[in-house]
Amino acid sequence: QNLQSPYEALGGAKEIEALVDTFYSYVSQHPDLIPIFPSDLTETARKQKQFLTQYFGGPPLYTSEHGHPMLRARHLPFTITPKRRDAWLSCMHHALDDRGIEGPLRDFIWDRLRLTAEHMTNSPDEMS
């Protein structure tokens, strides 16, 4: 049995760590995201590393510490509009570029994140 998980194909803990840190460096500078994220992203990044580890087939780090992810429920306190969803995805897109994650692995990861981001959207864009 030599099927690799996406987590292993990425390069395991080291790459998840680098990807998530790169991602939050973009989040911390994005005008649409700054209003809903804490200014200190240390704990947010730690939880996201745990979550993405298990989401991509690594050890269940998030669930061991926090229980069932219930991601949509955990996002309900925040107003997530289509504009913020796209901002989140653009930060992730840049992070995947910076980390040189390409090809079928990137396509797989991107599809999963895009669908989950869609699922987190809980509010319409403001009228203007």
Residues that bind ligand HEM (CB under 6 A): 36-38, 43-44, 47-48, 51, 66, 71, 74-75, 78, 80, 84-85, 88, 113, 116-117, 120-121
CB-nearer residue toward ligand HEM: 2 or 67: 67
CB-nearer residue toward ligand HEM: 1 or 112: 112
HEC sequence for the chain: CCCCCHHHHHCHHHHHHHHHHHHHHHHCCCCCCCCCCCCCCHHHHHHHHHHHHHHCCCCCHHHHHHCCCCHHHHHCCCCCCHHHHHHHHHHHHHHHHHCCCCHHHHHHHHHHHHHHHHHHCCCCCCCC
Least distance in angstroms from the C-beta of 78 to ligand HEM = 4
Least distance in angstroms from the C-beta of 47 to ligand HEM = 4
Least distance in angstroms from the C-beta of 111 to ligand HEM = 12
